[in-house]
Amino acid sequence: MISCKPNSRAGAAASDSPICFGSPAAPPSAGLFRYFLLISCFFRVILTLMSDDLNEDIPISTVDSPSVVLELIYQLKIKDVMNTAFITGRKTQTIRHIQAIMRENRITGVPIVEGQQLLGLVSISDVVTALDKGFIDCPVEERMTRDLIVLQDDMPLSFAISYLNKYHYGRFPVLNKNHELVGVLGSNDVIRALLVEMNREVLRLEKLQKSAASIASPQAEMEFNVPRYNFELAGRASTEIKKALKQRNFDPKIIRRVAVASYELEINLVVHSNGGTIRCSIQPDKVTIIAADTGPGIADVNQALQEGWSTANEYVRSLGFGAGMGLANTKRNSDEFSINSAVGVGTTVRVVIHTNSSKNEG
């Protein structure tokens, strides 16, 4: 008799607007407009060449992509991009039956559900293994992958891109806040959605070209509210700060340092605090970032600055955060760094990045 044992392998896997002071940014130039057009064409080519599953990293970075792409991947939610016309299977069906479903629908993975609750997943590799080892006629519930990595529908698209690049799975199940399966997301869904949104952005820029231009002030003061555990808009503050620096023609190396520091501080507020604010002061000779929260405070600041030390809970770690690198990365990218914290009161981190710093030469 063929034994049907469980498979333990890992499976597939409103914030306030910023308060900004200063003159509005100038509309894009004709050269920049053509640049966006080229980006749109680039993604169209990628979409044409991509197969149903992408074995290599998805060609989009959540850090180094052009600002228009960064804006989109933080503005779009997974529920705006995911495929809702997905096909599911039942736990009582055999793996052979699931194989037939895959063949008929030309798909490589089938979520197994009971009602709207996700129980597991059968991938094409599971079918191949079943054929090789002789348990193709076993019930799905005895061989499906149960230890799944999933996405939540209200996460920003940046999470999906990070997951696709990190785990290299062809697709991820998407759950809502009630833990119900509401969609499936793969790399093609991401590229297709970005192509549509970038075409819309090109049309918007075309209208802006006809508007009267104004010159951006070299100075700016920005403030962002950052609620606790609001992963939906995590990263928006750092994206807006990066965009403001690009509008003022700051050196790309300075922009990168500021983007890393502000992102790490923002995520720390989301993950470890009760909520707080990010304030950014842009001056011609320096950029100052202050992250302040209302608790719970840090008992041992020196320990918190050590790489790899983290107090993140299991929920936060399951989302890919809590590696204990936030403050260390922030300090590494700063010219001036200070942190003041009191348990039960809160924490304030102040970072200054100078435009003439030797760190900009690396």
Q: Are residues 175 and 247 in the same domain?
A: no
Tell whether 35 is covered by a domain: no
SS3 assignment, position 288: strand
Terminal-to-terminal C-alpha distance of the chain = 64
Confidence at 20, pLDDT banded by 50, 70, 90:
very low
DSSP code of residue 144 = S
DSSP code of residue 217 = P
pLDDT over 60 (residue 5): no
Tell whether 95 is covered by a domain: yes
Q: Are residues 229 and 179 in the same domain?
A: no
Domain of 136?
A: 84-186
Tell whether 17 is covered by a domain: no
pLDDT over 90 (residue 100): yes
Q: Are residues 360 and 227 in the same domain?
A: yes
pLDDT over 50 (residue 313): yes
Q: Say which range, 37-51, 112-126, 131-145, 175-189, has the weakest mean pLDDT.
A: 37-51
pLDDT over 90 (residue 33): no
User: How far from the centroid of its chain's Cα atoms is residue 256's Cα?
Assistant: 17
Tell whether 246 is covered by a domain: yes
Residue 301: the pLDDT is 84
Residue where one domain finishes, among candidates 162, 186, 210: 186
Q: Are residues 276 and 156 in the same domain?
A: no
Q: How many domains does the chain have?
A: 2
CB 163 within 8 A of CB 134: no
Report the chain's C-alpha Rg in angstroms: 23
Between 2 and 323, where is the model more confident? 323
Tell whether 197 is covered by a domain: no
Tell whether 61 is covered by a domain: no
Q: Are residues 327 and 273 in the same domain?
A: yes
Residue 67: the pLDDT is 66
Residue 229: the pLDDT is 82
Residue 15: the pLDDT is 36
Q: Are residues 331 and 231 in the same domain?
A: yes
Question: Which of 105, 57, 84 minimizes the C-alpha distance to 184?
Answer: 84
CATH number at residue 305: 3.30.565.10
Q: Are residues 114 and 165 in the same domain?
A: yes
Q: pTM of the prediction? A: 0.51
Tell whether 334 is covered by a domain: yes
CATH number at residue 140: 3.10.580.10
User: What proportion of the chain, given as a percentage, has pLDDT over 90?
Assistant: 42
Residue 235: the pLDDT is 83
Q: Are residues 226 and 351 in the same domain?
A: yes
- Sign of the alpha-carbon torsion through 34, 38, 43, 44: positive
Question: Tell me: the pLDDT tens digits for 256-290?
Answer: 999 999 999 998 888 888 889 999 999 999 999 99
CB atoms within 10 A of CB 119: 19
Residue 169 phi, psi dihedral angles, 5° rounding:
-85, 155
Q: Are residues 246 and 141 in the same domain?
A: no
User: What proportion of the chain, given as a percentage, has pLDDT over 70?
Assistant: 75
Q: Are residues 268 and 352 in the same domain?
A: yes
Which alpha helices (DSSP H) does the chain contain, by range?
30-49, 67-75, 78-81, 95-105, 124-133, 157-167, 187-208, 236-247, 252-272, 301-304, 314-318, 326-332
Mean pLDDT of 308-329: 72
Residue where one domain finishes, among candidates 163, 186, 209: 186
pLDDT over 90 (residue 96): yes
Question: Which of 323, 320, 319, 349 minimizes the C-alpha distance to 336?
Answer: 349
Please classify residue 118 by burial: count the beta carbons closer than 10 Å to its beta carbon, then call 0-12 exposed, 13-18 middle and 19+ buried. buried
Residue where one domain finishes, among candidates 132, 166, 186: 186
Between 38 and 77, where is the model more confident? 77
Q: Are residues 170 and 257 in the same domain?
A: no
CB 18 within 8 A of CB 242: no
Tell whether 14 is covered by a domain: no
Distance between CA atoms of 240 and 56, rounded to whole angstroms? 29
CB 333 within 8 A of CB 260: yes
Q: Are residues 117 and 164 in the same domain?
A: yes
